[in-house]
Structure 1
């Protein structure tokens, strides 16, 4: 038990071939990041309700009293955990998709990057979906940030002439449809027995076919059921509606 109470020595930063101690600000940043990372691992393993401060600090390698220099309570940590991981996830996705040649290619890379992030950080899945109950403010903030990001992409595509003009109110609808697709595809094809596996290629192909080409004829309605069996190329775009090159 003694070994568990010892604080882990912080790493040294190498500069010009010589070891240099961390500055006070760097040390504080390191400890805070270590606590958030440990919290992510613990919540990912046992859930919010069973994630104790003592377990988190032991995993982070810091004294339990140190925790309260960075977070006022366990709930304060929970409230900051999802936003922290959301920023990490968005950075990960942007890094993997920024070099795309066009909007369609960018959407494919963004879609694949989301699932690659889940594979790299499997704890994010549980943190996200349990946060609605245990950290509702953080959950709502996450949903708002992601939805607004999607809507900016849609508007940018429309302004660039890469997507058809739609009622501005539809951008929010499309954003939540795409967020829902990721949620349920994660549940069905990626999460298995509390672990995360790679996304099958056929899922990406099906998603891109739907997003880029559409599925139901846009003229189909309840009054003309026969039209619903027709399919044709439509303007469905990256993270929204995109113009098909063959349309």
Structure 2
């Protein structure tokens, strides 16, 4: 498949991916059509085939695109931390921010289980790979306890995914599983989750995390 050779081509492909993200989230893979996607992107149907072979090819490239962007967001957040405890907190913060902005991530990845199982597996394995490497370095540096980085990476990814589903996608319970009611994770939930993760990894609570509840108490008084 030809890749965009110009800036305009890159922008056109990005528009198609963004349109597909919305259409797949709203209608699901089976009901979504190339015509609907190109209409939303304001792109001619013939142009679609310059970048994608089929609806399935578009779907798989969308999974890959969402994966790349969410991993970058998490990596950028983790890089702000001066130790693993802080890296965990900031990485989760960016994951939840990305999920709130792109709630389609959940539906697209879950549909991939049936539409393209390989794409779904690659999505999770790529996240775990980077996570595991960070945990391995932290264990070697004595920043976390003697945990298995592979098992811990999968477990922590599960924590983030389920907390995000409960508090980002289901804030009121009446917007449907992939509705428009995406909201930030409440501060108290975020602090409790981070403390849980730090205990599981055998790290001492970071000063910033420990100070957060006290800071909010002072603000409320």
Query: Structures share a fold, TM > 0.5?
Result: yes
TM-score scaled by length of structure 2: 0.81
Unpaired runs of 5+ residues, structure 1, are: 1-22, 215-235
- Once the 2 structures are TM-superposed, how far is the Cα of residue 243 of structure 1 from its aligned partner? 5.5
Who is 1:242 aligned against? Answer: 203
Higher strand share: 1
Who is 1:213 aligned against? Answer: 199
Q: Give me the whole-angstrom Cα distance separating, in 1, the residues matched to 2:156 and 2:98.
A: 17
Unpaired runs of 5+ residues, structure 2, are: 207-221
CA deviation map 1:55-108 (0-9, x unaligned): 111111110111111111111111111111111112222233322222211111
Alignment of 1:96 onto 2:77: yes
Higher helix share: 2
CA deviation map 1:154-210 (0-9, x unaligned): 1010122212334xxx32211111111122212222212223121111221221221
Displaced runs of 4 or more, over 6 A: none
CA deviation map 1:205-224 (0-9, x unaligned): 2212212224xxxxxxxxxx
- Once the 2 structures are TM-superposed, how far is the Cα of residue 118 of structure 1 from its aligned partner? 1.0
Aligned in 2, Cα 1:25/1:173: closer, same or farther, shift over 3 Å?
A: same
Alignment of 1:189 onto 2:150: no
TM-score scaled by length of structure 1: 0.73
Q: Give me the whole-angstrom Cα distance separating, in 2, the residues matched to 1:185 and 1:150.
A: 18
Aligned in 2, Cα 1:197/1:243: closer, same or farther, shift over 3 Å?
A: closer
Alignment of 1:34 onto 2:20: no
